[in-house]
Amino acid sequence: MFWPFKKYDVEMSPEVHGVITLERVPQEGMTVVRELFYEGYNKGKAILDETQTNEQGEFSFPTMTIRSRLPGAIFGGSLKVYQHISVECQSEKKEIWGVWAPTEGAKSLRWMLTHINCELSNSKRVHEVDISPVEERLVPVHSICDWNSPSINTYVYDQSTDTYVRYKKTPQPLESIFNAKHRVKLDAE
């Protein structure tokens, strides 16, 4: 029911825990930046915070939840939260995490954010993540990191074919592989 004055919880970001390595060596003293954006908060301005990796290459960010009327508004219910985490390595900005997430959050995305294993030498990947326990609801996550879960399918860009090629061999239904909207090609099994 529409109620113009009611405020709703919006999960800007769950708790984040990760490790950054380069050639499997933990990277100490790296600045990790988290950027969060939701149209219904802070007049549409992004929220930025940063942290440093410790001697084991570990970093973390606390949970951030805000209150907003927008999820209950007639046109505001479809808005998503933009979550972006990056680190600069050798003058190049590396994307640890990039996703448009639902305002209520998602269990699979929360799990991924508490299990970040970031190898800086990895190429860019697109992870197709099922965020719904009831029906298939896929969300793309852009990252150089890897996760091992049957609900995550990983694709890497192949310049020779100008397509994204499946990187991990995780069980999945064929319908999610062949998406006519995106040119996706399976690698040789």
26 inside domain: yes
Lowest mean pLDDT among 65-74, 128-137, 145-154: 65-74
Alpha carbon 147 to its chain's center: 11
The total domain count for the chain is 1
pTM of the model: 0.81
Query: Do the domain assignments include residue 3?
Result: no
Express as a percent the part of the chain with pLDDT over 90: 52
Q: How far is CA 27 from CA 3, 47, 179, 183, in A?
A: 49, 25, 38, 36
pLDDT at 159: 86
Sheet containing strand 184-185, edge to edge, reads 47-52, 31-37, 81-89, 92-101, 138-143, 125-130, 152-158, 163-166, 184-185
Structure confidence by residue, pLDDT tens digits, 6-34: 887 888 999 999 999 999 999 999 999 99
Range of the domain at 138: 8-185
